[in-house]
Amino acid sequence: MSSSSSSSSSSSSSSSSSSSSSSDVPVPTPATETATPPAPPAPPPQPPFTDRLSDVLQKGAKAVTGGNGKAPRRLKTLLSGTWLGHPLHPVITDVPVAAWLIAAVFDVLWLAVPSAAVWAPRGAQTLVGIGLVAALGAFLTGIADWSDTYGAERTVGLYHGLLNSSAIILYAVSTYLRFQQSTGQSTPAAIVGFVGLGAVIVAAYLGGDMVFAKGTAVNHTAWEAAGEDFEAVLPVAEAAENTLYRVTTAGVPVILLRVDAQYYAIAATCGHAGGPLDEGTLTNGVVQCPWHGSRFRLRDGRALTGPATMGQPRYDVRVRDGMIEVKRHGGH
């Protein structure tokens, strides 16, 4: 059976290809397709719209605030809050949020309670104006801080800023409408204010998310441990003058500087966003962070230029038996 089947198959095959088998000369197959050149490589995918928008806005913000300028970058330092020793933005934001919230309460009062129809709209009018002025300060300090962010925190910050900017526009309209009325009473102004307050509340939630979930503006040296006692970190013979050395004590990286017979040491991790100060530039006892340009004085760790707002933890230094020893100043 199998033999017969095989024979039949062979016969069929033979008849269907009789022209080629009769001559035993391979017939060239006519070319039906021409070789196509390889396709050019696909262009890299476009970054998301939010990234492209953030790039443009950050560039503009740095140009305006001097974030890319040379030290001392006074406007950047002013807006960051370096002079205050604390981020300035969260201090200012409390004012418009509180003013607009109380203004909304006053609006509800004069709309719902006839006896409040005189004083409540006046109060709302004043508070909306105060909130508007303070919001401009919050806007400037916020955009100065946001211009140094990256990745997810930058995206959240973008939405945070866009919502707050929308609120500023809404409250500007609301203020204008209120001052068109001698009594301060304007139902459209109150409604626009309610919408603006909604935007502010969502924006405040996102601002909290930036700090508590993403760590924006959190002091990166806050959890650094301090050793119980002095710890030897470097032989004196290896410490050249005016050179930054990265050493470690109690598991914490520290930068060490020798000037003449004096030694100075501060935390090596920049408190602003964690930049490595040992990779920064040293000028006259001041180190500039390689990431965003904050400058710290080695002598006492003080922040001289923003965006950093808090000084670096400083370390006491002594020499024993040819070794440089350090210990966290104050032991905190």
Residues in touch with ligand FES (CB under 6 A)? 270, 272-275, 289, 291-294, 307-308
Which is closer to ligand FES, CB of 110 or CB of 291? 291
Which is closer to ligand FES, CB of 192 or CB of 289? 289
Nearest-approach distance from CB 130 to ligand FES, in angstroms: 33
Tell me which residue of 251, 280, 247, 281 sits closest to 264, measured CA to CA: 247
Q: Are 185 and 167 in contact (CB under 8 A)?
A: no
3-state secondary structure 182-234: CCCCCHHHHHHHHHHHHHHHHHHHHHHHHHHCCCCCCCCCCCCCCCCCCEEEE
Nearest-approach distance from CB 260 to ligand FES, in angstroms: 28
Which is closer to ligand FES, CB of 185 or CB of 312? 312
Nearest-approach distance from CB 34 to ligand FES, in angstroms: 58
**DSSP character string of 171-185:** HHHHHHHHHTSTT--
As a whole number of Å, the end-to-end CA separation of the chain is 96
Distance in angstroms (rounded) separating the CA atoms of residues 266 and 253: 9
Which is closer to ligand FES, CB of 100 or CB of 291? 291
Distance in angstroms (rounded) separating the CA atoms of residues 294 and 198: 36
Which is closer to ligand FES, CB of 191 or CB of 282? 282
Tell me which residue of 183, 180, 318, 220 sits closest to 262, measured CA to CA: 318
Nearest-approach distance from CB 311 to ligand FES, in angstroms: 13
Which is closer to ligand FES, CB of 167 or CB of 289? 289
Nearest-approach distance from CB 270 to ligand FES, in angstroms: 3
Nearest-approach distance from CB 320 to ligand FES, in angstroms: 32
